Amino acid sequence: MRVTVESTELSKKKTSVLCGFIVEGTKRVIGLDSMGSEIDRAVRDSVSETGGKLGKISIVNTMGKIPAERILLAGLGKKDKITGDTIRFVSGKIAQRAREFGLANFAVIAPDDSIYDKVSAVSCIVEGAKLSLYAFDQFKKKKAEKSPDLFVIASKSPGIVRAVKSADIIADSVIFARDLANLPPNECSPDMLGKTAKKLCAKKSRLRCKVIEKAELKKEGFGGIFAVGQGSRNEPRLIVMEYSGADKSKRPVVIVGKAVTFDTGGISLKPGEKMDEMKFDKCGGCAVFGIIRAVEELKLPINIVGIVPSVENMPGGGSYRPGDIIKLYGGKTAEIINTDAEGRLILADALSYGEKRYSPKETVDLATLTGACIVALGTNVAGMVSSNDRLADKIINASKRTAEDVWRLPINDDYIDMIKSDVADMKNMGIGRAAGAITAAAFLKNAIEKTPWAHLDIAGVAWTQAATKKRPYNPSGATGFGVRLIVDYLSQ
C-alpha cells in the first residue's frame, strides 16, 4: 500500500473512491465542497441515512460527473467523543471497505482543526488504514486481497507532509514487529531472531548489532538466559542493537524486550489448552525490533539501545529445574520455584547488562510476563510498574496519544519482600497467586540499581484474544503493541 499526501481539488481528483467524514447529527461532510447539484443531493440523502453514527459507512455513485468514481461517507460519531483513536478506527473501516470492493486506491479527506488537530488527524488516518489492512498470509496459498493505495487529501504544509511520512514509517514498523511475532515457533528461534537483527542493522550507518551466543553467555555470567535456554536444542541468544542518532556523550535510552520464542513452561509444564499461543511470548522482543526500525527510519536525534534476550523454554533432560539456584548477571542469586516464571530471569540479566554497559538515562522493558496481569487488567490495557513518576507520566502521555492503553500498578517494599527466598537472594515467584503481575515486576526491579525504569506487562495486549476489543487496526494475531507507544515516548 502506497501512501501519498496531496492537496488536489476534490472535483478534479481521480480516484476509485473519495472518502469523507461526518460528525453525528450534522448534515455536512467535512471538507467536501459542492460537487454539482445532482451529487450534492445524493450525498445529502446518504448523510441522513447513516446519521454520522460511529463507523457507519455509506457510498454514493458519482455517475461519471466527477473523476472520482464514488464518494464514501463515514461516521465519526458524536463530536465531543471524537479522539485520535476515533479517526484511526474509522480510517481502518474505510480501508477495509475499499479492499473488500477490490478498489485500486482510496482518497481520504482529512478533517479540519474544528474536528481534531489536523496534524494528528492525518497520522491517525495513515496508521488506521495501513494497520487495518495487515494480514499474516505468508504461510497460505491464498493470499489476502491486494491493499489499495491511500491518498491523504490535506494542505501540503511541511507539518502535514512530515506527519504523513512519520506515520507511514511507524505503521510499517508495527507491521515489521507483527510479521516477526506471528511467526510459528518452528520457524522463529533465538538464532533466527539474532540473524534478523543483523539484517535489520546491516548497511545502516547509525545501527550496530551484537549477538551474544551460548558459550559467551555462560562465560560472561548471564545465568538467567543460560538457565532458561539450556533445555532447548535452539540455543539462547542475547541480541543488542545500538542506534546512534546523537553525540556519543549523550546517555542512551535502553529498551528491553522479552523474546521467548516458545514458552512450554519447561519442567513446570503448562497445560495443553492454548499452549500454541505461547509462540507470542516473543512479542516484547519483536516490539523492540519494530522500535529500532522506526527510530532509524525517522532518524530521531537520540541514542537508543535495544536489548532482546531470547530463549526457547522447553522441558528435557538438560532443562533447569524447580529448586535450582542460579546467579544472575547483576550478581544476585535466584531460587527457581517455577520454571514457567522464566521471563523475569532472562529480563533481569538483560536489564542489569543494559545498566552496567550503557549507564542509560532511562530503561523501559516490554514483556508478555504474567497471566496475572490479564486477570488484573484484561486484554485491552497493559500493566505498568515504574520506579520513577516522571518516566511513568511520559509513558502515560504517549499512551493517551497512541491509544495503546497502560495502567500503572503500585510497587513498594512489601512486594519486594514477597519474593524473598530462604536459600537465595530472591525466588522467581511470589506467594501463591497474590499480586502476580507486581511480584514479577519486583523481581525485575532487583536487577536495576539506580536507572529510572518502567516495566510494561503486555501479556493481555500483545495479540488478539477472546476478550480483546474489536478494532479494525488490530486484525487477528500479534498487534505490535508497544511500537507506537514507545516511539511516541522517544519522540517527546
Give whichever of 83 and 465 is closer to ligand BES, judged by the CB atom: 465
For position 371 contacting ligand BES by CB under 6 A, the verdict is yes
Contacts with Zn ion in 11-30 (CB under 5 A)? none
For position 281 contacting ligand BES by CB under 6 A, the verdict is yes
**In whole angstroms, what is the distance from residue 286 CA to residue 280 CA?**
9
Of 182, 261, 368, 446, the one binding ligand BES (CB under 6 A) is 368
For position 319 contacting ligand BES by CB under 6 A, the verdict is no
Q: Map grid coordinates 505490535 to a residue.
A: 480
Query: 321 catalytic, yes or no?
Result: no
Give whichever of 55 and 371 is closer to ligand BES, judged by the CB atom: 371
Of 352, 370, 386, 479, the one binding ligand BES (CB under 6 A) is 370
**In whole angstroms, what is the distance from residue 166 CA to residue 119 CA?**
11
Residue 365 touches which of ligand BES, Zn ion, none (CB < 5 to 8 A by kind)?
none
SS3 63: coil
Selected catalytic residue, list 99, 344, 427, 445: 344
Size of the site for Zn ion (CB under 5 A): 6
Instruction: Quote the cell numbers at residue 56.
Output: 457507519
Instruction: Quote the cell numbers at residue 110.
Output: 482529512
Residue 474 touches which of ligand BES, Zn ion, none (CB < 5 to 8 A by kind)?
none
User: Please, what is the end-to-end C-alpha distance for the chain in angstroms?
Assistant: 28
Please work out, in degrees rounded to the nearest 5, the angle formed at the alpha carbon of residue 273 by the alpha carbons of 270 and 278.
60
Of 127, 340, 365, 404, the one binding ligand BES (CB under 6 A) is 340
For position 365 contacting ligand BES by CB under 6 A, the verdict is no
**In whole angstroms, what is the distance from residue 431 CA to residue 76 CA?**
47
- Selected range binding ligand BES among 137-145, 196-204, 319-327, 362-370, rule: CB under 6 A: 362-370
Selected catalytic residue, list 44, 195, 251, 270: 270
Least separation in angstroms between CB 413 and ligand BES: 20
For position 257 contacting Zn ion by CB under 5 A, the verdict is no
Residue 125 touches which of Zn ion, ligand BES, none (CB < 5 to 8 A by kind)?
none
Q: Among 297, 280, 277, which Cα is nearest to 170's?
A: 297
Residue 338 touches which of Zn ion, ligand BES, none (CB < 5 to 8 A by kind)?
ligand BES
SS3 44: helix
Contacts with ligand BES in 452-481 (CB under 6 A)? 459
**In whole angstroms, what is the distance from residue 234 CA to residue 312 CA?**
7
Least separation in angstroms between CB 419 and ligand BES: 10
**In whole angstroms, what is the distance from residue 398 CA to residue 448 CA?**
24
For position 343 contacting ligand BES by CB under 6 A, the verdict is yes
Give whichever of 209 and 372 is closer to ligand BES, judged by the CB atom: 372
**In whole angstroms, what is the distance from residue 439 CA to residue 163 CA?**
40
Q: Map grid coordinates 516484547 to a residue.
A: 284
Amino acid type, 28: R
For position 281 contacting Zn ion by CB under 5 A, the verdict is yes
Of 429, 435, 487, 490, the one binding ligand BES (CB under 6 A) is 429
- Selected range binding ligand BES among 5-13, 21-29, 318-326, 340-348, rule: CB under 6 A: 340-348
Least separation in angstroms between CB 404 and Zn ion: 21
For position 341 contacting ligand BES by CB under 6 A, the verdict is yes
Give whichever of 104 and 431 is closer to ligand BES, judged by the CB atom: 431
Give whichever of 235 and 281 is closer to ligand BES, judged by the CB atom: 281
150 Cβ contact list (under 8 Å, min separation 6): 1, 2, 3, 4, 95, 105, 106, 107, 108, 125, 126, 129, 130
**In whole angstroms, what is the distance from residue 420 CA to residue 439 CA?**
10
For position 312 contacting Zn ion by CB under 5 A, the verdict is no
For position 372 contacting ligand BES by CB under 6 A, the verdict is yes
- Selected range binding ligand BES among 138-146, 147-155, 333-341, 419-427, rule: CB under 6 A: 333-341
For position 457 contacting Zn ion by CB under 5 A, the verdict is no
For position 172 contacting ligand BES by CB under 6 A, the verdict is no
Q: Are strands 426-427 and 253-257 parallel, antiparallel or unpaired?
A: unpaired
312 Cβ contact list (under 8 Å, min separation 6): 185, 189, 190, 229, 232, 234, 236, 260, 261, 262
Helix residue ranges, H only, 101-157: 118-132
Amino acid type, 241: M
The residues pairing with 367 across neighbouring beta strands, listed in sequence order, are: 457
SS3 111: coil
Q: Are strands 70-75 and 57-61 parallel, antiparallel or unpaired?
A: antiparallel
Question: What distances in angstroms separate CA 49 from CA 25, 39, 80, 192, 385, one per listed residue?
Answer: 11, 15, 21, 53, 47
For position 179 contacting Zn ion by CB under 5 A, the verdict is no
Query: 344 catalytic, yes or no?
Result: yes
Question: What distances in angstroms separate CA 491 from CA 208, 250, 304, 336, 405, one per listed residue?
Answer: 21, 16, 12, 39, 18
For position 365 contacting Zn ion by CB under 5 A, the verdict is no
- Selected range binding ligand BES among 103-111, 131-139, 368-376, 384-392, rule: CB under 6 A: 368-376
Q: Which residues are catalytic?
A: 270, 344
Contact residues for Zn ion (CB under 5 A)? 260, 263, 281, 340, 342-343
Contact residues for ligand BES (CB under 6 A)? 263, 281, 338, 340-343, 368-372, 429, 436, 459
